[in-house]
Amino acid sequence: MSDVIELRGFSKHFGAHPVLNGIDLAVRQGEVVVILGPSGCGKSTLLRCLNGLEQGSAGELRFNGERLDARSDWRAVRQQVGMVFQSYQLFGHLRVLDNILLGPLRVQKRAPQEAQAQALALLERVGLADKALAWPRELSGGQQQRIAIVRALCMNPKVMLFDEVTAALDPEMVKEVLEVILDLAEAGMTLLIVTHEMAFARAVADRIVFMDGGRIAEQSPPEAFFSNPQTARAQQFLERFSYVENLPRRKAS
Amino acid sequence: MATSGFELLWQTAPQLATGAGRTLAISACGIALATVLGLAYGIGRTLGIAWLDRSLRVYLAAWRAIPVLVWLYLFFFGLPMFLGLSVPAFACVVCVLGLWGASEVGEVVRGALRSLPAGQRDAALAIGLGRLQAYAWVLLPLARKRMTPGVINVYTRIIKTSSLAVLIGVVDVTKIAQQIIERTYASVTLYSFLFVFFFLACYPLSVLSRRLEQRWSH
Ligand SMILES: Nc1ncnc2c1ncn2[C@@H]1O[C@H](COP(=O)(O)OP(=O)(O)OP(=O)(O)O)[C@@H](O)[C@H]1O
Ligand SMILES: [Mg+2]
């Protein structure tokens, strides 16, 4: 199948500080790519470059085969590349339904009835049909994050970007958000996911991209990556996670 | 004295009303101008455009460093002298109040916009809103509760400062009161009147401020 997103020699620096360094990455239609890597390695910056919240400094970025740069019509691209953030970012002055409909109505100028019907169907799908008229601050973190996902989905994007969307959640709410993402993966949507939930990464990914210091250090299918990482950095990275999971019980005093 | 005071006010009511009307007209026009330009200033300073930000900082510094009265003289006497451009006194006062108010309203707007989490702008852009659309539909509505008390405070200062108009010959409520005092020496009565007038002009705005803050507190 064709590549939806294609990066070639893509680099980004903030001032003199290089953050992305010659990234080569191609994402196929319907593929689920999970990006792992230590803090500060450039995962968020990479996602933000894909919908133009940051502009690359060198190299090439293509979306559906079309080359994108600072002069491209990013408003059109963003309607096809939905993004969900760690801290939900619902708009506090709008009720849930109006949060979801802002893009469809103001940007896409869709018919209100049709857009609203889709919004309600999506709310139903994430189990929040009864929250359409709630204010964001009345909702739990997990609920807000599911609404944020619906807000992005209601634009009918081709690709969804998830940047550590469960990192700010209490453990008991992580599941409800991950289930929604799994559901999207099952439905064949193209997803790029940054996460620190290793078990989830393993379960959802078609491919793991491991980044380190602004480069892609290795790319492998999830089973291969988790059982047999190729680079020393990836091994260290995974050891730190398994260390926490396999922490031996403290001897009773 | 109390009766004669009220009598005097009753007799001079038509003049006082004209003056009051002029003061309110100057204030309303100044406030409208300050609001429109202040919003533009606040947006301009949060767009992240370096040259625009620098220019607006100079604008603010100029209005902060030079007394409003001096600006008024500059507009009224300076423009005709240097540019051969004579501006009617009423328009002069409105411009000066509006431009000065814009710097003050603008600073409040900028502060309120700045206090929003950066992620809110990203989220607004991420659903495809344009930069100005993001302000109109997301950022300004989010900031409005926080900016209301500050903006209303500037409005009341504009109303009070409008009495500088007297100095370039505008016959506003303060001027009328002065003229009546010169005729009748009833200074206590007329100053009391001015006190009540300005209080009544400003107080509803504070009430409005509180109402709006409550309405927007979801
Ligand atoms: N707007 C910015 N200006 C300057 N430097 C930035 C900016 N955004 C990110 N950086 C720097 O770029 C580097 C990569 O940041 P990024 O947020 O992409 O990392 P990350 O992999 O997402 O990390 P984390 O796991 O902590 O979220 C960091 O060193 C960060 O300090
Ligand atoms: Mg990050």
Please name the member of A48, A106, A151 whose beta carbon is closest to the beta carbon of B137: A106
pLDDT per residue as tens digits for the range A24-72: 999 999 999 999 999 999 999 999 999 999 999 999 999 999 999 999 9
CA–CA min distance A89, chain B (Å): 6
Do residue B124 and residue A91 have CB atoms under 8 angstroms apart? yes
pLDDT per residue as tens digits for the range B3-14: 588 999 999 999
| Spatial CB neighbours of A140, under 8 Å, sequence gap ≥ 6 | A173
Q: What span, in angstroms and rounded, lies between the C-alpha atoms of A179 and A185?
A: 10
Q: What span, in angstroms and rounded, lies between the C-alpha atoms of B95 and B79?
A: 13
DSSP string, B105-134: HHHHHHHHHHTS-HHHHHHHHHTT--HHHH
Do residue B126 and residue A51 have CB atoms under 8 angstroms apart? yes
| Spatial CB neighbours of A205, under 8 Å, sequence gap ≥ 6 | A32, A33, A34, A193, A221, A222
Give yes or no for residue A91 CB within 6 A of ligand 1: no
pLDDT per residue as tens digits for the range B1-43: 445 889 999 999 999 999 999 999 999 999 999 999 999 999 9
Tokens of B90: 């009423």
- Distances, alpha carbon B163 to alpha carbons A187, A234, B8, B22, B151, in Å: 69, 72, 22, 10, 20
Give yes or no for residue A41 CB within 6 A of ligand 1: yes
CATH fold of B5-217 reads MetI-like fold (1.10.3720)
Q: Cα angle vertex B202, ends B214, B166, to 5°?
A: 155
pTM of the model: 0.91
Top residue of B113, B115, B125, B127 to mutate, by most chain A CBs within 10 Å, is: B127
Q: How many CA atoms within 13 Å lie on the side-chain side of B151?
A: 28
Q: Where are the domains of chain B?
A: 5-217
- Is a pLDDT exceeding 70 seen at residue B195? yes
The answer to whether the CB of B177 falls within 8 A of the CB of B193 is yes
The alpha carbon of A5 is separated from its chain's Cα centroid by a whole number of angstroms, namely 14
Do residue A102 and residue B129 have CB atoms under 8 angstroms apart? yes
Residue of B nearest to A153 (CA): B127
Please name the member of A79, A85, A106 whose beta carbon is closest to the beta carbon of B119: A85
> B137 at the A interface (CB within 8 A)?
yes
Q: Is A160 exposed, middle or buried (0-12, 13-18, 19+ CB in 10 A)?
A: buried
**Minimal CA–CA distance to A20: which of A37, A41, A1?**
A41
pLDDT given for residue B56 in this prediction: 98
Q: What span, in angstroms and rounded, lies between the C-alpha atoms of B63 and B51?
A: 19
pLDDT per residue as tens digits for the range B106-162: 999 999 999 999 999 999 999 999 999 999 999 999 999 999 999 999 999 999 999
